């Protein structure tokens, strides 16, 4: 049997440090069933600390090392070291963020961080709360919009309300569709507005769609503008979206979960011009900025609205006759009861680096992406999906030499559709690079490399990534593709 765990806790740092060394490969890929057979995961009987250390080492041995420069698979990244320290502290103190009573300093930190971020985004008199991920943050925005329009929703439910409609870009995150389902709108009530060649919502189409629903007697309730789509990193014309919302009196949300971190940069925040006109904004510092998972927030332009929309006044937690100022008990504006103190790790990062330091990291990230874009554009065999940098997303195909002199007809593109995932497979199995690929609208499978604040990626790293893709691509034969489903 194990001890009380204290001695094992002291070993954890060295265990993690060993698996984060430079010599450790990005991934040791094993297929699911085979990996399940390799790992001792049964918890029926306890083990001693030495055995537990061995089991943990095995698990980390087969885990992806997200701190490496070659991890380009997702929009999240290596944690900021200061943020990681903050995360360890919050886990060690293991308190919840619902009342000042149990989290006094942490409550003040959340309020201070939210106040700072609200000012950064240009809505200084607003409100906000940390949420468990961007999908939930967007749900908060929809709930606030619906309550603002129809406050009776809270007591009477949806049955007394008109047919409500949500509008979003066709390239927006799937969480909008999930929110429509979870909140009782129905997925058929989501209007996906076409985008232009840059992945930006076509404003005329948005206006037409709203007018059509109004003519049909429906109630447009929520427009979601994008500040950094998941794949292309596209940023909608937020000013124009705001004009349409103002014209029809519709709540405007901006999904800035990815691109919101550009607000840290005086140079690049102009890409999000108009975001200060939003009624709500969702932002994930755990993405581009590198705060440890999870670190997401919802910002609302009206103070008190979150509390009105979500409060349940549980009298065992939120007693109004407490001996201190109960306005600091923030939990009743959350849909959760127990809530992690996610603000603290962000505060540690921000306190260490300040606005200036974080802005410099944002500038460095965009400069890295610009170098990658130019390099891909000029490298033989590489073809850009989009040649405009909005967020630090670079999307492209690699065309093997045996395909370059052929006509790019339907059959050719179907072949390319198989080339990209095959290259990805070879890269992962060789542990050279983890890079995302996806189709998008009419585009066949292509690569997406996204850059974040951490770790620092320099020009030689980028050249090595592209070389890895190129060398893997040149090992592919037509015969290999013919055997691919």
pLDDT for res 6:
79
What digits encode the pLDDT tens for the residues 378-428?
Answer: 999 999 999 999 999 999 999 999 999 888 999 999 999 999 999 999 999
Q: How far apart are CA 249 and CA 252, in angstroms?
A: 9
Q: List the one residue out of 114, 144, 112 whose CA is nearest residue 127.
A: 114
- What's residue 478's pLDDT? 67
How many other C-beta atoms lie within 10 A of the C-beta of residue 416?
A: 21
Q: Specify the pLDDT at position 181.
A: 94
Residue 44 has pLDDT above 70, yes or no: yes
pLDDT in tens, 335-374: 877 788 899 999 999 999 999 999 999 999 999 999 999 9
Residue 239 has a pLDDT of 97
What does the alpha-carbon distance between residue 166 and residue 202 come to, in Å, rounded to a whole number?
Answer: 16
Mean pLDDT (whole number) for 181-198 = 94
- Bridge partner list, 280: 253, 300
For the segment 438-460, what is each residue's pLDDT rounded down to a tens digit?
A: 999 989 999 999 999 999 999 99
Checking if the pLDDT of 2 tops 60, the result is: no
Higher pLDDT, 94 or 450: 450
Looking at per-residue pLDDT, the higher value among 192 and 49 belongs to 192
What is the structure's pLDDT at 356?
Answer: 96
Q: What does the pLDDT read at residue 360?
A: 97
Q: What is the pLDDT of residues 405-418, one digit of tens each?
A: 888 999 999 999 99
pLDDT tens for each residue of 265-290: 999 999 999 999 999 999 999 999 99
Using CA atoms, how far apart are residues 67 and 77, in angstroms rounded to an integer? 7
CA angle 73–38–43, rounded 5-degree value: 100
Residue-level pLDDT at 10: 81
- Burial letters for 439-477: b for 16+ Cβ neighbours within 10 Å, e otherwise? ebeebbbbbbbbbbbbbebeeebbeebbebbbebbeebe
pLDDT, residue 370, reads: 96
CA-based nearest residue to 446, from 411, 405, 406, 394: 394
pLDDT at 36 over 60: yes
CB 38 within 8 A of CB 84: no
Mean pLDDT of 44-68: 88
∠357-363-365 over CA atoms, to 5°? 105
* pLDDT value at residue 344: 93
Residues whose CB is less than 8 angstroms from the CB of residue 21 and which lie 6 or more positions away in sequence, other chains included = none
pTM: 0.92
Taking the CB of residue 225, how many other CB atoms lie within 10 A of it? Answer: 32
pLDDT band at 479, cuts 50/70/90?
low
- Does pLDDT of 477 surpass 80? no
Look at residue 482 in the predicted model and tell me its pLDDT: 67
For 13-24, the pLDDT digits (tens) are: 888 888 788 888
Query: What is the residue-wise DSSP string for 300-346?
Result: ESSTTHHHHHH----TTT--TT-SS-GGG--GGGSS-SS---HHHHH
CA-CA distance, 341 to 471, in Å (whole number)?
45
Q: Which residue has the tokens 């990230």?
A: 365
Look at 27-36, 92-101, 111-120, 474-483 and tell me which has the smallest mean pLDDT.
Answer: 474-483
pLDDT digits (tens, 9 = 90+) for 108-154: 999 999 999 999 999 999 999 999 998 999 999 999 999 999 999 88
With contact defined as beta carbons under 8 Å apart, do 214 and 252 qualify? no
Where does 42-102 have alpha helices with state H?
49-61, 81-93
Distance of CA 57 to the CA centre of its chain: 29
Determine contact, residues 114/129, Cβ cutoff 8 Å.
yes
């Amino acid at each position: 049997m194990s001890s009380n765990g204290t001695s094992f806790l002291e070993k954890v740092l060295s265990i993690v440090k060993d698996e984060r060394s430079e010599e450790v490969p990005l991934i040791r890929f094993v297929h699911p069933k085979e990996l399940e057979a390799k790992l001792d995961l049964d918890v029926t009987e306890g083990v001693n600390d030495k055995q537990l250390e061995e089991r943990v080492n095995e698990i980390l041995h087969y885990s992806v090392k997200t701190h490496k420069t070659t991890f380009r698979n997702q929009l999240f990244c290596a944690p900021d070291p200061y943020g990681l320290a903050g995360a360890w502290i919050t886990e060690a103190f293991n308190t919840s963020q619902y009342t000042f009573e149990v989290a006094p300093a942490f409550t003040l930190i959340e309020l201070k961080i939210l106040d700072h971020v609200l000012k950064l985004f240009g809505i200084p008199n607003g409100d906000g709360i940390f949420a468990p991920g961007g999908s939930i943050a967007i749900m908060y925005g929809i709930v606030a919009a619906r309550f603002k329009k129809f406050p009776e929703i809270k007591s009477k439910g949806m049955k007394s309300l008109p047919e409500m409609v949500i509008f979003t870009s066709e390239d927006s995150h799937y969480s909008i569709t999930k929110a429509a389902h979870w909140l009782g709108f129905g997925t058929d009530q989501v209007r996906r507005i076409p985008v232009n060649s840059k992945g930006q919502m076509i404003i005329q189409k948005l206006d037409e769609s709203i007018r059509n629903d109004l003519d049909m007697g429906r109630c447009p309730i929520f427009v979601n503008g994008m500040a950094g789509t998941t794949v292309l990193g596209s940023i909608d014309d937020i000013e124009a979206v705001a004009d349409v919302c103002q014209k029809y009196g519709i709540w405007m949300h901006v999904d800035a979960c990815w691109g919101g971190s550009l607000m840290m940069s005086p140079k690049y925040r102009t890409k999000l011009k108009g975001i200060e006109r939003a009624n709500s904004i969702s932002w994930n510092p755990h993405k581009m900025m590198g705060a440890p998972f999870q670190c997401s927030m919802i910002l609302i332009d009206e103070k008190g609205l979150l509390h009105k929309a979500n409060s349940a006044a549980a009298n065992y937690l939120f007693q109004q006759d407490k001996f201190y100022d109960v306005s600091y008990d923030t939990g009743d504006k959350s849909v959760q009861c127990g809530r992690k103190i996610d603000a603290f790790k962000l505060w540690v990062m921000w306190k260490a680096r300040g606005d200036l330091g974080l802005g410099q990291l944002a500038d460095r990230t965009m400069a890295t992406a610009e170098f990658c874009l130019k390099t891909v554009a000029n490298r033989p065999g590489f073809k850009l999906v989009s040649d405009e940098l909005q967020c630090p997303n670079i999307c492209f195909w690699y065309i093997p030499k045996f395909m370059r002199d052929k006509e790019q007809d339907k059959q050719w593109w179907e072949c390319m559709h198989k080339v990209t995932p095959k290259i990805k497979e070879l890269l992962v199995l060789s542990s050279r690079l983890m890079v995302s690929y996806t189709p998008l609208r009419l585009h066949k499978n292509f690569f997406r490399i996204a850059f974040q604040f951490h770790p620092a990626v320099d020009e030689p790293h980028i050249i090595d990534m592209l070389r890895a893709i190129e060398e893997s691509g040149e090992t592919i034969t037509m015969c290999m593709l013919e055997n691919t489903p």
